[in-house]
Structure 1
Amino acid sequence: MRVALATEAAPGRPNEDFVAVSADAAVLLDGAGTPAGSESGCSHGVAWFARTLGSSLLAAMTQKHETLPELLASEIKAVAGLHEDTCDLTHPGSPSATVVMLRRTDDALEWLVLADSGLVLDAGDTAAPMVICDDREAQVGARYRSAMDALDSGSPEHQAAHRDYVEALRAHRNRDGGFWVAATDPLAADQALTGTVPRESVRTAVLLSDGASRLVDRFHLATWRQALDLLDQEGPEALISRVRAAEYSDPTGSRWPRGKTFDDATVVTLSLP
């Protein structure tokens, strides 16, 4: 298996994405940042949470034989145990993250997607690639984002509206009828999208945080086929470079309204023999 990956923090911020790959498994997490002025109840922070959960998930996928939801539930519980004595895990802003897991067996690829990071599976022929993304957060968020989207990104007013937007979403996090992320509740793992495909049917698998997939699904500057061709020809750094160019071209969000002018961007491409 040939692996190419790149990750880049949003300018001026720590990278809250995490990605790791072994011979037969890959995991990507995108930590949900806490806007300035909001509390989380945790002294460790989002980057710590994504890094800690992500590394334990990769180890579990390579050492244990449980299903991916079972592994995710177990590791969410284990990470919660690491800071339940020092942090308020009942706080609605406790660190959380999206999760993409991919595991290769002798004859299949097993996958799990929780929240809005993406997985693309490509057969390498004329068929459209299989794109998996859990859009429940976006569906909930559409109810609350109009005030934020009407303001110039980066302005004090936009920052305040973004904080209000994030705090409104917290009331729907890990709730029936809302959306689900990896945080403190192991039951969130049961809500993940999961599936299995024959190993021989996939030539390339791509895991992306939403800061990277926005080239396609928010900015609409490429189709998924064009994005896959770019990754094949120039690599993950080229895709992230195009995302950054688009972000810099629209600093106020007038063309593409968004909560974050810039976002952490992570891509890993797995070319399967």
Structure 2
Amino acid sequence: MRTEVVSEPALADRPTEDFAAVGLPAHGQGGCLVVLDGVTPPRTETGCVHSVPWFTARLGGALTELTVSGRDMTLSGILARALRRTADAHAGTCDLSHSRTPQATVVLARWSPQTVEYLVLSDSALLVEGADGTVTAVLDDRLARLPRASLATDALIDATVRNKEGGFFTAAADPSVADRAVSGTLPRAGIRSLTALTDGAARWVEKFGEGDWTDCVGLVRKEGARSLVHRVRALEEADREERAYLRRSKTHDDATVVFAEL
């Protein structure tokens, strides 16, 4: 088995809000990957005394431990329990009902000799490469399908579409959001590799159009996960002034890639 984990902050002098991990249980019969993309808060009040990196570290650590050890639990059940555990860690000091309480996107995958299970919540991506080289993108595209008018300001997003019916969902403090994730199970025999990307790394496809998802997996397989991140950074710098591709997006974003060749 080959695994790679690369995570680079948007700015060298600021901590990343992403979390990434690969778990390989001692029994040697499978493994898991976990990727979180922390949601950068606005400058206004969030109701929480903790940072987004604090939240993603807590939630990511719980997800990694539970995904490896809780073989009898579903991935949605694991996400719900990890959210509850993380919420309990700061419920006494923070207003967890605040719309901007720390939150993150989630990609989980777990494999055994028989199956590959997956879960995706919000706009990170999981790319599943079949034995024949076909790549299927597992996406939660609810945010992408929203009218642009509903995303005009942070206040409008928080009031109308963030973690609301008809909008989009992220992992924050409510364990029931786990049931909103895109999830499923596939036969292990038909899968060659898994690649998880935060949207900062997925920009290579989604914003800059340098290739499709199959090209993206091929690049990571041939040149490595770090090469994908470096290519994204070069594209961001080239578009810094004209913003033909980035438009209103921030110039750099935290970028994380996890690759697992099964």
Cα pair distance change 1:195/1:13, threshold 3 Å: same
Identify the residue that residue 28 of structure 2 maps to in structure 1. none
Match of residue 32, structure 2, among 4, 25, 39: 25
Q: Does 1:115 align with 2:122?
A: yes
1:124-149: CA deviation from partner (whole Å, max 9, x where unpaired): 4253x11011121222362245x6xx
Q: Does 1:265 align with 2:252?
A: no
Distance in structure 1 (CA, Å) of the matches to 2:232 and 2:147: 22
Distance in structure 1 (CA, Å) of the matches to 2:165 and 2:104: 18
Distance in structure 2 (CA, Å) of the matches to 1:231 and 1:246: 17
Distance in structure 2 (CA, Å) of the matches to 1:208 and 1:183: 20
Q: Unaligned regions of 5+ residues in structure 2, if any? A: 25-30
Cα pair distance change 1:44/1:255, threshold 3 Å: same
Distance in structure 2 (CA, Å) of the matches to 1:181 and 1:141: 18
1:1-33: CA deviation from partner (whole Å, max 9, x where unpaired): 210121100024320000011111110000001
Deviation at 1:167, TM superposition (A): 2.9
1:142-185: CA deviation from partner (whole Å, max 9, x where unpaired): 2245x6xxxxxxxxxxxxxxxxx233222222211111110011
Cα pair distance change 1:26/1:253, threshold 3 Å: farther
1:65-115: CA deviation from partner (whole Å, max 9, x where unpaired): 211111111111111111011111111110100000001122000000000
Match of residue 234, structure 1, among 223, 229, 238: 223
Distance in structure 2 (CA, Å) of the matches to 1:141 and 1:100: 24
1:266 match: secondary structure: strand
Identify the residue that residue 207 of structure 2 maps to in structure 1. 218
1:205-231: CA deviation from partner (whole Å, max 9, x where unpaired): 000000000100121112222211111
- Paired letter, 1:201: G
Identify the residue that residue 45 of structure 1 maps to in structure 2. 51
- Contact 1:72 1:186 (8 Å CA) reproduced: yes
- Paired letter, 1:167: A
- Paired letter, 1:169: I
Equivalences for residues 99-248 of structure 1 within 5 A: 99-127=106-134, 129-140=135-146, 142-145=148-151, 165-171=153-159, 172-248=161-237
Q: TM-score, normalised by structure 1?
A: 0.88
- Contact 1:140 1:178 (8 Å CA) reproduced: yes
Q: Does 1:73 align with 2:80?
A: yes
Q: In angstroms, what is the RMSD of aligned CA positions?
A: 1.4
Equivalences, count: 252
Percent of pairs with identical residues: 40
1:7 match: secondary structure: strand
Identify the residue that residue 4 of structure 2 maps to in structure 1. 4
Q: Unaligned regions of 5+ residues in structure 1, if any? A: 148-164
- Paired letter, 2:18: D
Distance in structure 1 (CA, Å) of the matches to 2:235 and 2:208: 8
1:219-272: CA deviation from partner (whole Å, max 9, x where unpaired): 111222221111111101100001001110111462111422110000010001
Identify the residue that residue 104 of structure 2 maps to in structure 1. 97
Higher mean C-alpha displacement, 234-243 vs 4-13: 4-13
Q: Which runs of 4+ in 1 moved over 3 A?
A: none
Cα pair distance change 1:252/1:184, threshold 3 Å: farther
